[in-house]
Every structure is written in C-alpha cells, then in structure tokens.
C-alpha cells in the first residue's frame, strides 16, 4: 500500500528578523551566526499564534492544489509550542477551517523537531487501516514565544512558521516507510518547562538547550537512522532524489551528507532564510522547494527529524 502526496503548503511569521538586527540587541554578530549555523534571517510572528500559522499553511496547500478542505478526514499537528494545552492546535485548526466535525479526527503530537516525521508515521498507519482516506499533517511553531531573547546561544537559532502536507491512501502509489526512535532525556538537554507538580517549582516557559550535546546527538543519529530507513524501504540512499533533513544547523546537515558520501546538492535547505522552525521545518522546506523548483512531485525523498526528547526518525516516500 502507498501514499500519495496531494498537496503541500506553508506560512511564515510576518516579520523578518535579520542577524544584523539581533546583533544590535545581544552580544553576537551576523558573521558568527552565519558561520556556525548557516542562518542569515528568520521570520517572527508578532500577532499570529501557532494555530493561525497552521491554518494559513493548510489553506495555502488546499488553494495551491485546488483541493476541497472538506475532503480531509483527519488533522495531525506536530508542535511543541501549542496555543493551549487544550484544546489541541489541531482542533483549533479544524474549527478555523470550518471542517465537518462529524467526519474529522484532530489531535496534536509533541515530539519537538521530530514531530513531523512521527505525524507522517501515524498518518500512514491510519491510512493503511483504511478508516481514513485523506489526512493533513501540519508542523506549526511559534518558537519566538518561548525564547529567552537575552540568551544568545538559543535565540539566534529559531524562527516561526508552519508547513502542511495532505496525503491520501493510494493502492498504486509507492509506500511510505517510517522509523522513529526515542532516547529519553532526563538531563534537560533540550527542554521547555511545563506545569510542575508543586507551585514553588514553577519556572518560566522558556527553552533551554545544551547546544553542543544536541549537535553531537544529531550528527550521531542522522546517518544511522537514514541507513535504517533505507534498509527497511529496500533502497539505497544513493538512489534517493533528495534528502530533507530537519533544518537545525547547516553544519549538521552538511556533516551528515558527507558522512554518508551523499551529494550535498541533494540536500534541500532553507535554513538561511527561515532558521530552525522545529516541527515545521521539514514541510516548510518541502513547500518552499516545490515553489522554487528545487523539488518536484514524483521524486523519491527521505525526510529526517531529530531533536528534543531526545527523538529521531526518518521516512522515505515519493513526493
Ligand atoms: N554569538 C557569538 N558568540 C556566541 C554565540 C552567539 N550567538 N553563542 C555562543 N557563542 C560563543 C560561546 O560563548 C563560546 O565562547 P567561548 O569560546 O568564549 O566560551 C563560543 O561562541 C563557541 O560556542 P560553542 O557553543 O562551542 O559554539 P558551537 O560551534 O557549538 O555552536 C550552536 C553553537 C548552538 C550553534 C551549536 O552547538 C548547535 O547548532 N547545536 C545544535 C543546536 C540545535 O540544533 N538545536 C535544535 C535541535 S532540534
């Protein structure tokens, strides 16, 4: 059984924030950020929350492909910056799109930057069950609301955005092969605090990260999970048309491609323009690359997520 990608769309925060602007407020420079991360700017959402960007991305997908939103059976939103604990961001998007409540199942997954790959894994399994025909997977984040804008080791990395991919069950399409893993992190390698049991333990909802540890984790797991996914899909990594890695750091992406002896030009990257948008990064990169012509429908791709959890996963499918 296979999946067919029926539509892809995206949305970005409305304000561009350049490295130069950041350097006016914190002790950093455009050159440092560019050299260490590949980022030159990111988009910040001042007025739209995560469900607004997710709705905008889903509408963009439906409009670009002339697809009726009422034909969607389920919405899965990958996010670690939801509007609320409840209702889910997916339920808010369903309401904002005016989708038929009797037909649709909507829920969020929080697997940080691996969330889109986990959402795709779940969606493929739901389609395979044949209870659903068409599912929207949306990665949406407004990371700017959980950043400490005085912490130069984190605030330079992230941006706000959303990407949506609508997939259908299609007997004749190639399969979507997914692998996902979790290495529980009790040490706070990458953490945004939630609600503590005791009020005196309450801390602000701010992202903290041991950047070097995350870097080491990423360059270790990306090649292995890609090889595992390729093996499961019975294909070689060299045969893929493109690889879309979670856009965390250009150096991480280049290192992983080189370690696997893969052509760097096969790696899709939009990090220079949008920074790290966490769960949104993979569908956002796909959507922007389809628009600028560096990706095409019908091509074979592998997407790779990694990050908080610590979590990592990969999925191979035809775009
Ligand atoms: N501007 C200028 N200097 C900075 C800086 C900034 N924004 N951030 C850190 N520095 C300084 C450090 O204080 C350190 O100074 P010191 O040598 O005097 O102590 C120096 O630059 C080197 O810092 P280091 O942390 O070793 O840099 P790095 O090369 O590891 O790059 C990251 C830092 C965060 C870019 C990198 O570790 C990274 O990308 N990690 C992965 C993070 C990530 O992707 N997270 C999300 C996962 S989904």
Q: Do the Cβ atoms of 276 and 159 come closer than 8 Å?
A: yes
Residue 174 is classified by DSSP as P
Position 202 scores a pLDDT of 83
**What are the pLDDT digits (tens) for 24-34?**
999 999 999 99
Q: Do the Cβ atoms of 136 and 254 come closer than 8 Å?
A: no
37 Cα nearest atom in ligand 1: 35
152 Cα nearest atom in ligand 1: 7
**What are the pLDDT digits (tens) for 31-73?**
999 999 999 999 999 999 999 999 999 999 999 999 999 999 9
Q: Is the CB of 28 under 6 A from ligand 1?
A: yes
CA pair distance 37, 35, nearest whole angstrom: 6
Position 194 scores a pLDDT of 85
Distance (Å) from CA 215 to ligand 1 centroid: 10
**What are the pLDDT digits (tens) for 71-86?**
999 999 999 999 999 9
pLDDT(1) > 80: no
Which of 167, 154, 138 is closest to 280 using CA atoms? 138
pLDDT(125) > 90: yes
Q: Domains in the chain and their CATH numbers?
A: 2-170 (3.40.47.10), 177-318 (3.40.47.10)
Distance (Å) from CA 172 to ligand 1 centroid: 47
Best of 79, 212, 280 for a ligand 1 pocket test (most atoms within 8 Å of beta carbon): 212
Distance (Å) from CA 156 to ligand 1 centroid: 10
Q: Do the Cβ atoms of 75 and 174 come closer than 8 Å?
A: no
Q: Is the CB of 156 under 6 A from ligand 1?
A: yes
CA pair distance 203, 273, nearest whole angstrom: 32
CA pair distance 268, 246, nearest whole angstrom: 10
Q: Is the CB of 191 under 6 A from ligand 1?
A: no
Best of 112, 215, 216, 219 for a ligand 1 pocket test (most atoms within 8 Å of beta carbon): 215
Position 203 scores a pLDDT of 81
The percent of residues above 70 in pLDDT, for the chain, comes to 100
**What are the pLDDT digits (tens) for 223-272?**
999 999 999 999 999 999 999 999 999 999 999 999 999 999 999 999 99
The span from the first CA to the last CA of the chain, in angstroms, equals 15
Position 9 scores a pLDDT of 98
pLDDT(101) > 90: no
Q: Which single residue is written with the structure tokens 């091509």? A: 299
Distance (Å) from CA 225 to ligand 1 centroid: 25
Structure tokens at 222: 């990306």
Q: Do the Cβ atoms of 265 and 294 come closer than 8 Å?
A: no
Residues 149-172: what's their mean pLDDT?
Answer: 96
pTM listed for this prediction: 0.96
**What are the pLDDT digits (tens) for 174-218?**
999 999 999 999 888 999 988 888 888 888 889 999 999 999 999
Distance (Å) from CA 53 to ligand 1 centroid: 29
Position 201 scores a pLDDT of 82
**What are the pLDDT digits (tens) for 266-303?**
999 999 999 999 999 999 999 999 999 999 999 999 99
Mean pLDDT of the chain: 96
Q: How far is CA 311 from the centre of its chain?
A: 13
Q: Is the CB of 153 under 6 A from ligand 1?
A: yes
Q: How many CA atoms lie within 13 A of 173 on its CB side?
A: 23
Query: What's the per-residue H, E or C state across 57-113?
Result: HHHHHHHHCCCCHHHCCEEEEECCCCCCCCCCHHHHHHHHHCCCCCCCEEEEECCHH
**What are the pLDDT digits (tens) for 126-143?**
999 999 999 999 999 999
pLDDT(105) > 80: yes
Position 278 scores a pLDDT of 98
252 Cα nearest atom in ligand 1: 39
Which one has a higher pLDDT value, 205 or 9?
9
């Amino acid at each position: 059984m296979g999946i067919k990608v029926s539509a892809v769309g995206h949305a970005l925060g409305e304000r561009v924030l350049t490295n130069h602007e950041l350097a006016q407020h914190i002790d950093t420079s455009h050159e440092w950020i560019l050299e260490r991360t590949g980022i030159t700017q990111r988009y910040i959402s001042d007025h739209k929350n995560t469900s607004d960007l997710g709705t905008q991305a889903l509408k963009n997908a439906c409009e670009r492909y002339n697809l009726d939103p009422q034909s969607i059976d389920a919405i899965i939103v990958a996010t670690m910056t939801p509007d609320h604990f409840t209702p889910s961001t997916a339920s808010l998007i369903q309401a904002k799109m005016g989708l038929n409540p009797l037909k649709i199942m909507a829920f969020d997954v929080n697997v940080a930057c691996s969330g889109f790959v986990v959402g795709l894994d779940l969606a493929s399994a739901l389609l395979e069950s044949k209870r659903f025909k068409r599912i929207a997977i949306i990665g949406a984040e407004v990371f700017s609301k959980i950043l400490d804008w005085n912490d130069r080791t984190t605030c330079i990395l992230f941006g706000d955005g959303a990407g949506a991919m609508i997939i259908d069950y299609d007997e004749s399409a190639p399969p979507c092969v997914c692998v996902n893993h979790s290495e529980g992190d009790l040490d706070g390698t990458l953490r945004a605090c939630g609600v503590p049991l005791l009020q005196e333990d309450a801390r602000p909802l701010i992202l903290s990260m041991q950047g070097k540890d995350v870097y080491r984790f990423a360059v270790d797991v990306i090649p292995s999970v890609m090889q595992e996914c390729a093996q499961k899909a019975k294909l070689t990594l060299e045969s893929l048309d493109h690889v879309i890695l979670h856009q965390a750091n250009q150096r991480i992406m280049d290192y992983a491609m080189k370690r696997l002896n893969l052509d760097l030009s096969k790696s899709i990257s939009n990090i220079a323009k949008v920074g790290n948008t966490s769960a949104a990064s993979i569908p956002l990169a796909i959507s922007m690359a389809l628009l600028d012509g560096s990706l095409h429908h019908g091509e074979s791709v592998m997407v790779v997520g990694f990050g908080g959890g610590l979590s990592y996963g990969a999925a191979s499918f035809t775009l």
